[in-house]
Amino acid sequence: MNKKINIVLADDELLFRQGLKAILSKVKQIKVLFDANDGNDLMQKLRTTEQLPDIIITDLKMPNLNGVEATKLIRKEFPNIKIIALTSYFSKPFIINMISIGAVAYLAKDSTPKLMLTTIEEVSEKGFFYDEKVMKYIHEGLLNPAEKKLKSNFDTTYFTKREKEVLELICKQLTTNEIAEALFISPRTVEGHRNNLLLKTESKNVAGLVIYAIQNKLVSLEANNF
């Protein structure tokens, strides 16, 4: 982690919340701006704070306003904030639902502190982080015939060859610099291609690009790709 990452925590369990803060406070590149005890508290503080966070780690099951509904509101009001979903329910329906409404990563409550820190770092650097299990769930959920939204007349010439190459490497969760190295182009050129991809797919973030790529079968999820 090279830059300071501003974090906000939302969880109705005080001891758990304090435990997370204690872990994160030991990492000098991370600053916890504030914490919230439910979705209403989180939204109120976001609307009045002087400094918005880069990332929110929110529990899904909270009283009053839960993490799912709070995520929907945050995506509308603060689209630049990245949301990591935190829950005890690490199940396919929960994951698919949270990702479809804008979560860029998913953490089980029994995850190790190391995985939590890795997830924060990956989200900060790349915009999203889906491990192998989550990618498998996304793939199964999005390509299920009952849920599939792929248009039969999808035009494969819509993207340039280079854009497809960049998209594939984004889906492999490479950083901008790593993509630039792999394709022998500058990081600035990578950013240009990524911006074009966002415009063409009407995605709000790189996590949306991954979803789009999977839905439209533009990338393969064969072994070692993710």
Q: What is the CATH number of the domain that holds 159?
A: 1.10.10.10
Domain that includes residue 176, residue range: 144-215
Task: Looking at the structure, tell me whether residues 149 and 108 fall in a common domain.
Answer: no
Task: Looking at the structure, tell me whether residues 151 and 121 fall in a common domain.
Answer: no
Which is nearest to 201 in space by CA: 210, 209, 193, 211?
209
Backbone φ and ψ for 58, nearest 5 degrees, come out as -125, 135
Which is nearest to 123 in space by CA: 83, 171, 178, 70?
83
| pLDDT on residue 2 | 62
| pLDDT on residue 130 | 86
| pLDDT on residue 226 | 42
Task: Looking at the structure, tell me whether residues 124 and 191 fall in a common domain.
Answer: no
Contact between 139 and 216 under an 8 Å Cβ cutoff? The reply is no
User: Whole-model pTM?
Assistant: 0.76
Residues contacting 166, CB < 8 A, separation 6+: 179, 183, 190, 193, 194, 197
- Domain membership of residue 67 (yes or no) is yes
Which is nearest to 34 in space by CA: 12, 17, 9?
9
Mean pLDDT per 10-residue interval, the chain, length 226 residues: 87 94 94 96 96 95 91 92 87 78 88 92 92 79 52 62 92 91 94 90 83 79 47
Task: Looking at the structure, tell me whether residues 118 and 205 fall in a common domain.
Answer: no
Total of domains in the chain = 2
